Amino acid sequence: MGVVVSDSFSKEKLEKFLNKSDKLSVDNENRAYRHLVKADALRIRNYFWESIDEYLLSLKYDSNNIDACLGLGYSYKQVGYVKNAIDAFNDAKKLSPFHKELYFEAGCCYCIDYNFQAAINEYKKALKICPDFSEARFNLAFTYELDNRNTLAIEEYKKIIDKKPEHSKSYNNLASLYMKLELYKQAIKVFKELLKVDLSYSRAYLGVAICFDKLKDKNIALRYYKKYLKIKPNSENSAYILNRIDELNKEKHVAGKSHLKLVS
């Protein structure tokens, strides 16, 4: 015959068990928080491997801690473990499916891993959550460019410029892409638009100079090469540019002499 347990005894046991469970839950939350704070501090100081250990400990005590998942992803990305980073960001997405940064960071990792289509998909998801997320659109455009889908890249760069006419990097990338496609007149137009936004953007002067050089317009090319050197006299390109200026001046000199002989 079994032992009969009174109702009062059962309630007392249950209350003790619940109190113990609550205390254990609080203790775990405290441990998770302490490891998270330490992990964030280590990551800020660029101790990425040490921060990974702390993030993993934090998640051991609280597997639903989105900040730990996000920090873990950042640290894995910094040490080059992009697949682990993607896993961490995907875990965070399960906890917060409308967090645009998670899709953006996953896209960056896929791009680093040369999985361009997966990156494109992630950036599009981020833009679906926030259509004005210009960083995601810029990365989407650049990933299209890396994947040699140049028409789509051009469209995305133009979308950014239309919405954020001060976004210098989009002008620069669009103009540089036109140069790569040997569409020099279009490139010049975009570089000049960039200079209206930021007169000190040195790369634009060099871009214009190279484009006019390619179009055989030596006088304008020379002018922009000199403008570039005035802004960036110690540029790593300065030796090449000085040499090219010398070549163009000699070509002009030879052309001038030839013309004089021709008319005489």
* Domain ranges, ordered by start, for the chain: 165-264
Q: pLDDT tens digits, residue range 71-101?
A: 999 999 999 999 999 999 999 999 999 999 9
Statement: 165-264 belongs to CATH 1.25.40.10:
yes
165: CB partners within 8 A, 6+ apart: 197
Q: Any idea what DSSP says for residue 200?
A: T
Percent of the chain with pLDDT over 70: 85
> Which two tokens mark 65?
């801690």
Range of weakest confidence among 90-99, 108-117, 254-263? 254-263
225 touches 245 (CB < 8 A):
yes
Average pLDDT over residues 155-176: 97
HSE-up (13 A, CA, CB side) for residue 152: 14
Quote the CA–CA distance of 74 and 44 in Å, as a whole number.
Answer: 11
pLDDT value at 148 more than 80: yes
pLDDT band at 251 (very low <50, low <70, confident <90, very high): confident
pLDDT band at 27 (very low <50, low <70, confident <90, very high): confident
What pLDDT shows up at residue 12?
57
Quote the CA–CA distance of 262 and 121 in Å, as a whole number.
Answer: 63
What pLDDT shows up at residue 258?
35
